[in-house]
A and B are shown apart, each in its own frame.
Chain A
């Protein structure tokens, strides 16, 4: 029986009420992307029906309205992550784009031969490859913070690695593959003691917990709209103002050239210095609406609900013969990654799909992590605010049925 809150939330998501292969859809692939509530969908439709216009220029009514809504969304983001000012909130195309921006601007000007960039063993390819590319270009090196068996970071090893001339630590707030919640505040203060900067990949964190960039003291924080109930094609890079000020621009074009000349620098115009060309205006406004939705439902409720589902799923899964859960640290978000002895994840994922259950199989863009565990990949179920215990039961039954067919 669904609670009234659960019913309420689910009724806001039109996409959930469909059948897949004759069965009700159970969408457990939220770490890949979340579904959108009607209010976010309405925001996009309303924008294109009533407001669409290019922003930051033109004195006509529509352009001013569009600009107000877009910059209004930026203020929403600023408040949501508690950035000091809106100039520290850069709209990007997503997390990957944000990280590449930092690697190509801050990275190019600050990383040199022999410098060390520290990444964690848990990183998504998007918080790994841009640094590899930079290191290759500059003759710098990448070192990896190892993990314990339970998928938590080895902080003792981290402390030792920090002694080695580290310029930057790039770490995820929450692991998309294992669900581990990393102690990024603590890790950031340790890094700062050693004069290293910290970039946090917050893609999985914004849908699960409050993010306070001042409290974390992160130098850079990146996240994606589509992972937090917002549209694809938009994301945010937060950076401390003094850092963003020193960084040269990345993409050149309209919007990022200042019309006023300054003594110190030509590109002293945040956040627009890093926003060349016409942005994903609808996307930015949609992201604002998604954050409104999250605040309306409440991150407390969301965390509690996901925790409930995580516990129920983990308990049922552990009872299955030959099943191993990867990522069993104390502090986890609503992600459960597992394998069953002798069964290829792809077989199980395919059968689950036939029964209407959407999970993800494979390496989850964390191939080195899978290699570390010596596995081809896992099956990953990841939860969002609209998932329910009933769905977890359906998932477990479907899993058992699939296993019976394969064993």
Chain B
């Protein structure tokens, strides 16, 4: 059932990005997405939430809802990075921990994110996803 959700989200994201012809438009969209990022509550940002391997600073926080779904909030001091996290959260947030941990990440390649970001930024993206999955696994093991 939850894999159906991931599939739907993936299709939605791919369709969204296919509307744009060139990469400048895709970046504009990412910047817009960044403005919709569910932010970590003011005052509750911790340094141990910082993701390593990014040139900009990225904080990621995870909490579990009553229905056992894991929800992410995040923040970054770089706008495009915010957009990338917002995209990842759109895809992975509010799902069971187990689903998050095992989620297929093909969506990144299908919208061309793997190619168009510099290696360092790509590593940041990879670290972000890795951290989200670790949270998913950790919460799943608590059930």
Chain B, Cβ-Cβ closest to A21: B23
Q: Which size class do A's interface residues fall under?
A: 10 to 19
User: Which one, B2-10, B60-68, B78-86, B88-96, is touching chain A?
Assistant: B78-86
A residues 359-394 in Cβ contact with B at 8 Å: 361-362, 376-377
Chain A 312-353 per-residue mask, 1 if CB under 8 angstroms from chain B, else 0: 000000000000000000000000000000011011001101
21 A-B residue pairs with CB within 8 Å: A22-B22, A343-B79, A344-B78, A344-B81, A346-B56, A346-B78, A347-B56, A347-B78, A350-B27, A350-B80, A350-B118, A351-B27, A351-B80, A353-B118, A354-B27, A354-B116, A376-B56, A376-B57, A405-B24, A405-B28, A406-B31
> Any chain A CB within 8 A of the CB of B55?
yes
Chain B hits for A346, CB < 8 A: 55-56, 78, 80-81, 121
Q: Which 3 residue pairs of A and B lie closest in terms of their CB atoms, listed nearest first?
A: A344-B78, A346-B55, A347-B80
Q: Considering residues A346, A353, A376, which has the most beta carbons from chain B within 10 angstroms of its beta carbon?
A: A346
Least Cβ–Cβ distance between B111 and chain A, in angstroms: 15
Query: When A362-B55, A405-B27, A405-B28 are in contact, do A350 and B117 touch as well, CB less than 8 Å?
Result: yes
Q: Are A350 and B77 in contact (CB under 8 A)?
A: no
B residues 31-77 in Cβ contact with A at 8 Å: 31, 55-57, 77
Least Cβ–Cβ distance between A399 and chain B, in angstroms: 14
CA distance A18 to B82 in the complex (A): 31
CA distance A88 to B28 in the complex (A): 56
B residues 102-130 in Cβ contact with A at 8 Å: 116-118, 121
CA distance A351 to B22 in the complex (A): 13
Chain A, Cβ-Cβ closest to B24: A354
CA distance A22 to B24 in the complex (A): 11
Q: Are A344 and B31 in contact (CB under 8 A)?
A: no
Chain B hits for A343, CB < 8 A: 79
Q: Are B77 and A376 in contact (CB under 8 A)?
A: yes
Chain A 11-45 per-residue mask, 1 if CB under 8 angstroms from chain B, else 0: 00000000001100000000000000000000000
Least Cβ–Cβ distance between B25 and chain A, in angstroms: 10
Q: Are B23 and A361 in contact (CB under 8 A)?
A: no
Q: Are B23 and A354 in contact (CB under 8 A)?
A: yes
Query: When A344-B77, A361-B55 are in contact, do A350 and B121 touch as well, CB less than 8 Å?
Result: yes
Chain B, Cβ-Cβ closest to A361: B55
CA distance A21 to B26 in the complex (A): 13
CA distance A83 to B135 in the complex (A): 61
Choose one: B22, B79, B117, B118; the contact of A406 (CB below 8 Å).
Answer: B79
Least Cβ–Cβ distance between A269 and chain B, in angstroms: 44
CA distance A405 to B77 in the complex (A): 16
CA distance A22 to B22 in the complex (A): 10
CA distance A22 to B25 in the complex (A): 14
